[in-house]
């Protein structure tokens, strides 16, 4: 029995859409947790999260619109199964835009921590390549909506996913390297820094692995299996960003209670003094004798001299990390 044409594109697309919607539910819970917990965060960050949430919602809507039209509205129309529409084409650029926006956020975070413009520019450049590739894929599909031409978009798809992988890798390495250095400067905070490092690696590796699998499937399998990993990619990026923001409550080390976020919702690392404190105490005793009866000894304590050598106090403030 011949396989249905829907198995090549619409089948993988439907599986990817199912995962996409599940991740959107997780994202909704994360957004609710964020706005109920971190009420003092900056306005631009809250606005940025709302925009990403709306963009992810729109991505779900157009994906549902496409699969409904292909499998329900045009049920039995095999010719329609072989052609894309505007909704299918728009999914690529939306995924690239959302992923790029999240990568720009992490680039800002790297700048706040390290002040290294070279690393930030490298992340931004890879992110722009990511977006340019997704935009190119959208334009190519819109101009040639035949699914048989999808394997010919190797340049656009490779730019898109390789740019995303490189940006994620640079972000993870930069954050791990910078925070790892401070483990030696802040020995009392090793456990806190370790938690941040684990979260950084886990979120960065997750999106990198999915993007690599997506690219590998696209280059090696002629059918649309890669759509299973490509469709939910935007939700993975947004969920990773929100999970790192919501995890700040567990990273706090500034004496505030765990139930209430500290002002500014930042993790403040205060270095301990590396130089010893030296106290010099001088005591002088004077004894007076008489022929009658001994008088009380007089003890005179010289004023205590306190010399304190403190190393220059170093502090690290990680804002919205």
Q: d(Cα 289, Cα 25) in Å, to the nearest integer? A: 91
Pairing of strands 315-319, 305-308: unpaired
SS3 for 311?
A: coil
3-state secondary structure labels for all residues of 112-146:
HHHCCHHHHHHHHHHHHHHHHHHHHHHHHHHHCCE
Query: Between the CA of residue 119 and those of 143, 175, 178, 244, 309, what are the distances in Å?
Result: 36, 10, 12, 20, 37
Residue 261's pLDDT is what?
Answer: 43
User: Which of these, 223, 239, 216, 105, lies nearest to 162 by C-alpha position?
Assistant: 216
Q: Please give the DSSP secondary-structure letter assigned to residue 152.
A: G
Residue 269's pLDDT is what?
Answer: 42
Q: Which residues of the chain carry a pLDDT beneath 70?
A: 1-3, 179-203, 250-321
Residue in this structure with the two tokens 């954050």, named with its chain if needed: 175
Residue 115's pLDDT is what?
Answer: 85
Residue 313's pLDDT is what?
Answer: 38
């Amino acid at each position: 029995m011949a396989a249905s044409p829907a198995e090549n594109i619409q089948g993988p697309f439907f599986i990817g859409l199912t995962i996409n919607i599940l991740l959107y539910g997780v994202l909704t819970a994360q957004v609710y947790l964020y706005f109920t917990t971190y009420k003092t965060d900056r306005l631009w960050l809250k606005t940025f999260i709302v925009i990403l949430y709306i963009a992810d919602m729109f991505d779900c809507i157009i994906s549902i619109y496409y699969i409904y039209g292909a499998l329900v509205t045009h049920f039995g129309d095999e010719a329609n199964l072989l052609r894309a529409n505007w909704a299918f084409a728009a999914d690529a650029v939306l995924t690239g835009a959302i992923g790029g926006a999240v990568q720009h956020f992490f680039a800002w975070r790297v700048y706040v921590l390290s002040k290294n413009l070279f690393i930030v520019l490298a992340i931004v450049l890879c992110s722009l390549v990511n977006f340019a590739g997704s935009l190119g894929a959208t334009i190519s599909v819109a101009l040639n909506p035949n699914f048989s031409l999808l394997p010919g978009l190797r340049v656009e798809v490779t730019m898109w996913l390789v740019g995303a992988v490189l940006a994620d890798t640079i972000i993870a390495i930069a954050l791990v390297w910078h925070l790892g250095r401070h483990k030696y400067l802040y020995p009392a905070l090793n456990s806190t820094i370790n938690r941040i490092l684990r979260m950084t690696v886990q979120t960065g590796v997750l999106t990198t692995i999915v993007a690599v699998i997506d690219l590998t499937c696209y280059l090696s399998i002629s059918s649309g299996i890669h759509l299973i990993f490509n469709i939910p990619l935007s939700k993975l990026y947004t969920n990773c960003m929100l999970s790192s923001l919501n995890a700040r409550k567990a990273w706090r080390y500034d004496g505030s209670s765990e139930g209430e976020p500290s002002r500014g919702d930042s993790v403040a690392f205060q270095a301990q003094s590396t130089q010893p404190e030296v106290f010099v105490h001088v005591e002088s005793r004077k004894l007076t004798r008489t022929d009658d009866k001994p008088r009380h000894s007089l003890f005179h304590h010289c004023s205590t001299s306190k010399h304190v050598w403190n190393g220059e106090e170093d502090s690290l403030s990680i804002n919205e990390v």
